[in-house]
Structure 1
């Protein structure tokens, strides 16, 4: 915090000297510190519901009210709430969790039947019997920089294996990662004391030798290794610049009897996505479908949106081919298009649930509701055929959805940057059940807190509307000039504004406004969550 304020002080001194403005006082800076998130967040009461589901029809959540913690148990069928200030609910839930299989989430990956845990030791893959503790080595030729299931490419340094268990817990889809000839990257830390040099494998843009993965399928009972009959892939995924965005082996699906593995190979430059099917017994690989674009292909915005449907021999594909991010239904055997599922001037961002029996998709999307901020996320359902598209969250705002495990209910926290959250419970078809919480910001407002103002401006070429937020000092004098801070993050993977949900403090924007700045934050062209043309306008 001292470093932040010191930096602000330097900026303000420079501006004051140049503009002749009066220097700010210590009290002014103390007031600015009060606007930083660790001081503002605690002043918002009853904000958002994060459900911890118990069984199919009940959940509990924790909420704070003026510093006091409450635990609330909810019956999903009727929305009835039971509130207590004791942590009996939490203790019961934790006890239930303890009864489940124990394993080290940092270094192991549990099988679906919870009987085995896969882990890496000396660059090779092992499994541990969870009950007996017996260990079995599955691979034997792994060495440094050519190990199995390793999560150490580029910046990543996790010890957790990257793999996908089959549904029957008898097979593992993973890879042997080759970075033996990749150049080293070096970094010296800036901590106090003697500097320390770190080195890791990291290919530069023009390097011929890059990190590649040799895909394999391991039969756990027999310890047989089936190498897929294909060239090694770049370590790339359809959603991020890696095969694992959040610890899982992305872009891989098993069929129900673990005889087939469906996966996508992504080119080094992210311009080609090739969907393939591998025979898990022979390693034979068949190319099914390819999407090739001029700039970059992404399978979604925040989530991978291509899905394998083994029961109907189909797959759902995400594409921006018509200038907007939409879903398409394909035949998995022929690679032929059956129909476009979603269409229009909006972006499908995340598939939340697939009801294969009824052939219905539940998904989040931006920009479909006219007259609203195009970055607001809403929840929808649509048939696989593309018919019967329906909005499930009608309120104006950014909706954050938490589905029940059985898929019958969802908790919806909706808000706007300048409107505090409301938390409601609905059925999966959008029927309102009850209001769970309404955030109270009265204590926050009492400090002089001022919400940001949503703004809309034109891009420099007049082609696009740009949306953002403006933070201003609490009291502005007419005719007075104010220094402007333009906060810019021009990356194609994210914008400067961030979430459109309510927040008591956004980075240091509120604090800078308290010091007399006008802070402008815009999601400019080249940022995601809009049209393909917008995303590519860099």
Structure 2
């Protein structure tokens, strides 16, 4: 195939399956198109089901010594749904070898998906928010010390224990319950692996797996058929906005350890979030099926309207020596955390415990998402609900909320998962790893903050001397050392810290914005990061807790996903990775599968380097021009153009190419992983520059490939891409003749607060931006054809 400057051609391997082959676009019957789509879906399912996920490392003792056991989810044998699997890795004997690691089933075969795939309403909504398409076991919790698992299956909860002395596979035991309805978000207690918590009907419960005892912890939700307007509260469940826009899907957190008294009883603690949606608007949506009722009710916070109110609380649960549940004490903070700041935090986007269990921490974000604070909350700040909340004069550090980091941005703050607390060696200081985009690109920082007593904890609002400004907390940073730098980003994903060798491991885009790799850098004497994964691929990584071994699922534009396990080796100051086994060989690509070409060019209008993908018609004829589809997303938080396999999620684009169409994909300004300035070009003006970039990319491709018929161009996308598909047709009917818009946003006034206000501010503050960013504003511009 001919290529223009800045383009890369890849030659696919041959495989065993066929897709439709057409040298020229011929009008197809509906049955022919339906057959092509069904074949594409079949191949997507076949490829996706082969890729393992949800990895956990655990060291176990065997007759031959310690072995690293890797648990994961995947489809075993001829099965059709995910199940719990494992493989054993002998690090001493297999370093440097590339032997095949055998998949072993942890469980005896049983159906994990509800009959006919019918999920409860709660399960279905969670699957949608997580963009989850897999069936079977989709998540699990494990106690690494005992090997006990808890996982949801078949609309119930199950448990099993992996003992190095036990024979696998085992048949899991169902955990009985007196609850009505589905039990969600089950977690084992780190301080007592016999105790499991879960959410049922928007309240928290616990059960003793061994004895079967069960008790309800919170009573925020009425249930019993109460209407949505009469039943606005929940406990242990993240609000809709926090789930949908900030990717936090839990609303409770066990303390890492438990206190055991001399009589054998234990005190367990659980941080949880109470959510009150009283002020959130209720929408009435007609049910498409009409089977149960004609109208469904949902609470939905449109841009500019009220969000849910969220409050952090603490439960103290007594477990008697015989395992029975004793007293439960519900505690709260004297006043909401938002009252401590003059900028009124709106969202609690992340929270948990410090590893020592001495503090609770929370990341608080302003409504306009331009200010964030990391706060540390001593346990003594939580008091029983019936206590006198205004008699707080103690200013010692164990009763003072501390702000240990805060940041402002004139663009917006992208929430991340980079937070690692080090053990306290000085009582008045705390150190942690954090990341920030304050330089324009996300980088890691080693931060030390002071915990000295201050007169800024909770003050009594009833006192005449109360002054909100004086009670505003301020961080006291002693050190903030950059560990990475430059014009390339650290990804927002998990980090791993090796305290023994004083190293931090992370996923970044230092080599190219198209490939994610695992890097390592010293957090004491930072220098140039070391890449540990193979170039030419994009990697998804999970490491062991001791940072000695990791698994990578990787692929390229022409190579389907494969998975390998590596050991991290240290020779003097040199750090390398060595393969210890292959977990998944790349699947044979389908016969006639032609991967897209990656292209890049420098934009004349913006001066930015643009990256794109080009699918050419199969059996393309030199000099012949073909109808073209511009496939677009174009919005923030998403990157379509990467050096990773597109034969799963974007296989339909290959189908279009097989039917005789050119398909172009371009990540324009506003898309992800190119730095904050590149992403922020759409601030307050969504639906403007995105189309300019798509048109410029289309014209560049047309002038460099000579295969595009510019008189026959369609634009297609989903979600934000559906929105831009409509905007493209309305704004540039001279370029786009057809729009295929999937699930588009047509007016930002009716989209949710967390997403819309991050980029557009509120409708009141940005009237013109909302008007010009609405598809409805351009209705008269749509072509008549």
TM over 0.5: yes
Whole-angstrom CA distance in 2 between matches of 1:213 and 1:64: 39
Residue 484 of structure 1: which of 628, 631, 639 is its match? 628
Per the alignment, residue 360 of structure 2 pairs with 261
8 Å Cα contact 2:52-2:72 kept in structure 1: no
1:202-236 per-residue CA deviation (whole Å, 9 max, x = no partner) reads 222222x32111111222225333322443559xx
Of 351, 370, 374 in structure 2, the residue corresponding to residue 271 of structure 1 is 370
Q: How many residues align structurally?
A: 495
Shift of 1:474: 0.6
Q: Secondary structure at the match of 1:332?
A: strand
d(CA) in 1 for partners of 2:279 and 2:290? 34
Query: In the superposition, relative to structure 1, how do residues 44 and 98 fare at CA in structure 2: closer, same or farther (>3 Å)?
Result: closer
Q: 1:108 to 1:376 in 2, by over 3 A?
A: same
Q: 1:168 aligns with which of 257, 273, 279?
A: 257
- State the distance in 1 between where 2:660 and 2:507 align: 38
Contact 1:44–1:444, Cα closer than 8 Å, also in 2:
no
Q: Distance in 1 between matches of 2:362 and 2:37?
A: 49
In the other structure, the counterpart of 2:711 is none
1:354–1:362 CA contact under 8 A, matched in 2: yes
Deviations 1:247-301 (A, max 9, x none): xxx3323341x3311211112222111111112123342223211112221233x
**Cα pair 1:59 1:75 within 8 Å, conserved:** no
Say yes or no: does 1:338 pair with 2:480: yes
Following TM superposition, by how much is the alpha carbon of 1:154 offset from its aligned partner in structure 2, in angstroms?
5.4
Supply the distance in 2 between the matched residues of 1:139 and 1:194 (Cα, whole angstroms). Answer: 29
How far apart, CA to CA, are the structure 2 residues paired with 1:412 and 1:206? Answer: 42
CA distance in 2, matches of 1:356, 1:156: 32
Q: Aligned residue for 2:111? A: none
Q: Does 1:324 align with 2:421?
A: no
Distance in 2 of aligned mates of 1:51 and 1:347: 24
Conserved in 2, the CA contact under 8 Å of 1:71 and 1:89? Answer: yes
Which structure shows the bigger proportion of residues in helix conformation?
2
Q: TM-score, normalised by structure 2?
A: 0.56
Which residue, 204, 212, 235 being the options, matches 2:302?
204
- Aligned residue for 2:351? 251
**Structure 1 residue corresponding to 2:92, chosen from 32, 53, 77:** 77
**Alpha carbons 1:43, 1:66 under 8 Å: kept:** no
- Is residue 524 from structure 1 mapped to residue 637 from structure 2 by the alignment? no
Change (3 A) 1:405 1:161: closer
Report which stretch shifted further, 497-506 or 427-436.
497-506
**Using the alignment, how far apart are the partners of 1:89 and 1:398 within structure 2?**
29
From 277, 281, 293, the equivalent of 1:183 is 281
Cα RMSD for the two superposed structures: 4.0
Answer whether contact 1:469 1:520 (CA < 8 A) is retained: yes
1:292 aligned to 2:399?
no
Deviation at 1:379, TM superposition (A): 0.7
Partner residue in 1 for 2:554: 414
The answer as to whether partners of 1:454 and 1:467 remain within 8 angstroms in 2 is: yes
Q: Which residue of 2 aligns with 1:5?
A: none
1:39, distance to aligned residue in structure 2 (A)? 2.5
* 1:223 equivalent in alignment to 2:328: yes
Residue number in structure 2 paired with 1:57 = 68
Tell me the distance in 1 between the aligned counterparts of 2:200 and 2:88.
43
Structure 1 residue aligned with 2:115: none
- Contact 1:45–1:439 (CA under 8 A) maintained in structure 2: no
Whether 2:450 is the aligned partner of 1:306: answer no
**Mapping of 1:9-88 within 5 angstroms?**
22-24=26-28, 29=33, 32-33=36-37, 36-39=40-43, 42=46, 55=60, 56-59=67-70, 74-79=89-94, 81=99
The answer as to whether partners of 1:32 and 1:511 remain within 8 angstroms in 2 is yes
When residues 438 and 324 of structure 1 are mapped into structure 2, their CA distance, relative to the original with a 3 A threshold, is same
**Quick check: 1:281 aligned with 2:380?**
yes
Question: What is the deviation of 1:479?
Answer: 2.3
Q: In the aligned structure 1, how far is the partner of 2:584 from the partner of 2:304?
A: 53
